[in-house]
Amino acid sequence: MSTFDDRERAFETKFAHDEEMKFRLVARRNRLLGEWAAGKMGLTEAEAESYAKDVIRADFEEAGDEDVIRKILGDLTAAGIETSDDEIRQTLQLKSFEARRQLIDSQGG
């Protein structure tokens, strides 16, 4: 019975770790996307940092990426920056790859 309990704990620990890594990956991706949008809007470094945090918070509004895409699209449009839903989605995907690479690099592997 002890072996079964050990395996169960190991699976629970792995699941918790995997979920934490997913959260960190999405948060980092959203920060990178926010920094990209801030650059397009010509924000200062301090404003860009604050804006990136706002993008991270926007992701908590609903499941999925639509809330983040909507925020970025709305903010860029309001700032007079010509963009499209497709451009933001492509950038979101690129930032996801970049975030994954950064996360792996930060863990030494």
Give the tens place of pLDDT for each residue, 69-94: 999 999 999 999 999 999 999 999 99
Rounded Cα–Cα distance for residues 46 and 48 (Å) = 5
- The pLDDT score that the predictor gives to residue 109 is 63
Question: What is the rounded (10 degree) CA torsion for 44, 40, 94, 30?
Answer: 50
- The pLDDT score that the predictor gives to residue 61 is 81
Question: Residues 34-68: pLDDT tens digits?
Answer: 999 999 999 999 999 999 999 999 988 888 899 99
**Per-residue pLDDT at 96 exceeds 80:** yes
Give the predicted TM-score (pTM) of the model: 0.85
- Name the burial class of residue 51, with classes exposed (0-12), middle (13-18) and buried (19+) by CB atoms within 10 angstroms of its CB: buried
